[in-house]
């Protein structure tokens, strides 16, 4: 796709949201303010998502935004998915990433790679009641994702998986896992295969939950496979083509992370805007000082740029256009903006910003993961560099 065509799409699509999209945003914001915000402090303290909140996400269709209607989904767009992720992250990044992974990684992978049988078997549950997780990372395979050591052995009537996964989002809540294992280590990445594993499968255990800096209510766990028995038909995509499943799914997932970071930045900015209007020093609100006004203006500019980059990537995906570079740019930039804006919000709060009685320190802690998961910032730079130097 040419640069001119990309700009034309951006200019036509990004200036306004449709009435339907605006209504959808309003409904998600109402849910985030009414149901999520009152639970944030308790979930943060317990380092656990409220199960009732997850149930409400299912009931509202937020866990099946792109899922086809025939499987109980809303059959909507990734643009609406990222609007939902953004609005939830504006209030709490933990519930946002739960919805994000379930939609942009798990459901998306089933839509694109699942056989008719797998779709019929799992997608109605993914749309209505069962949380999904995406298990790629291991202790020795982070950015080098294809160095994974988890093995799958063909036992004739089933597969047996052995190994360990780390850093798996939704590990405690999920009941359906997309797990990547190698059926032929000698073949390298060409042996990698994606499997559908249910929590109840023999030989599968959810291990340690990580004690994290941010997104604390979101469970990040290890997964242990001890000769885990997986039905032969539970291969997602083709045997030996799991690398393709992972790469193409993560491309969409990066737009979701960009939306999450955008929401974090927006939430921190709004908190700072409100506080600076209320906080008085030298006999007047601190937002009357030009120095503070300029800092707020810089935050607003950064957020607007981040929003346009994120929306552009989503619009391109929905239009069936190439979006790999745009998704990488959006994720890279929004992760920087989220950290920068939330840090500045802490400074504007002064000493109050540094304590947990006020909201902005949490936004900053939640922002840090954006430059790490679903492809580090260095990996995004590598992707962007390869694409621009090859003329794409």
Phi, psi of 77 (to 5 degrees): -110, 165
Query: How many residues does the structure list for the chain?
Result: 392
Residue 320, judged by CB atoms within 10 A of its CB (0-12, 13-18, 19+), counts as: exposed
Looking at the annotation, which residues are catalytic? 374
Largest CA distance in the chain: 79
Find out whether 98 and 173 touch, Cβ atoms under 8 Å: yes
Q: How many CB atoms lie within 10 A of CB 377?
A: 16
Distance CA 361, CA 41 (A): 13
Q: How many CB atoms lie within 10 A of CB 380?
A: 22
Tokens of 144: 């080098």
DSSP string, 352-388: GGGSTTSSHHHHHHHHGGGGTTTS-HHHHHHHHHHHH
Q: Which of 375, 348, 345 is nearest to 360 (CA)?
A: 345
């Amino acid at each position: 796709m040419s640069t001119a065509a990309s700009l034309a799409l951006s200019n036509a699509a990004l200036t306004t949201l449709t009435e339907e999209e605006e209504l959808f945003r309003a409904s998600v914001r109402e849910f985030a303010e009414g149901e999520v915000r009152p639970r944030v402090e308790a979930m943060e303290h317990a380092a656990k998502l409220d199960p009732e909140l997850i149930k409400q996400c299912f009931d509202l269709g937020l866990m099946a935004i792109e899922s086809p209607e025939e499987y109980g989904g809303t059959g909507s767009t990734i643009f609406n998915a990222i609007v939902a992720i953004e609005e939830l992250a504006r209030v709490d990044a933990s519930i946002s990433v739960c919805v994000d992974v379930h939609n942009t990684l798990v459901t998306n992978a089933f839509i694109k790679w699942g056989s008719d049988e797998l779709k019929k078997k799992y997608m109605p549950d993914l749309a209505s009641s069962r949380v999904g997780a995406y298990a790629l990372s291991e202790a020795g395979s982070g950015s080098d994702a294809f160095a994974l050591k988890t093995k799958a052995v063909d036992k004739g009537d089933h597969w047996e998986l052995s190994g360990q996964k780390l850093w798996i989002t939704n590990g405690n809540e999920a009941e359906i896992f997309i797990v990547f294992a190698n059926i032929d280590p000698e073949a390298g990445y060409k042996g990698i295969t994606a499997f559908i594993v249910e929590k109840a499968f023999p030989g599968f255990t959810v291990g340690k939950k990580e004690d994290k800096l941010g997104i604390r209510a979101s469970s990040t766990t290890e997964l242990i496979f001890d000769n885990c028995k997986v039905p032969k038909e539970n291969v997602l995509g083709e045997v030996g083509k799991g690398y393709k499943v992972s790469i193409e799914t993560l491309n969409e997932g990066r737009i979701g992370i960009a939306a999450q970071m955008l929401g974090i930045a927006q939430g921190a900015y709004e908190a700072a805007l409100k506080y600076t209007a209320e906080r008085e020093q030298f006999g007047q609100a601190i937002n009357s000082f030009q120095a503070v006004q300029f800092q707020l203006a810089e935050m607003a500019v950064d957020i607007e740029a981040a929003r346009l980059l994120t929306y552009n990537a989503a619009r391109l995906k929905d239009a069936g256009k190439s979006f790999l570079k745009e998704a990488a740019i959006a994720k890279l930039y929004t992760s920087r903006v989220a950290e920068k804006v939330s840090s500045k919000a802490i400074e504007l709060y002064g000493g109050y910003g540094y304590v947990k009685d006020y909201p902005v320190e949490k936004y900053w802690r939640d922002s840090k993961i954006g430059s790490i998961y679903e492809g580090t910032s260095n990996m995004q730079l590598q992707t962007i560099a390869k694409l621009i130097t090859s003329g794409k």
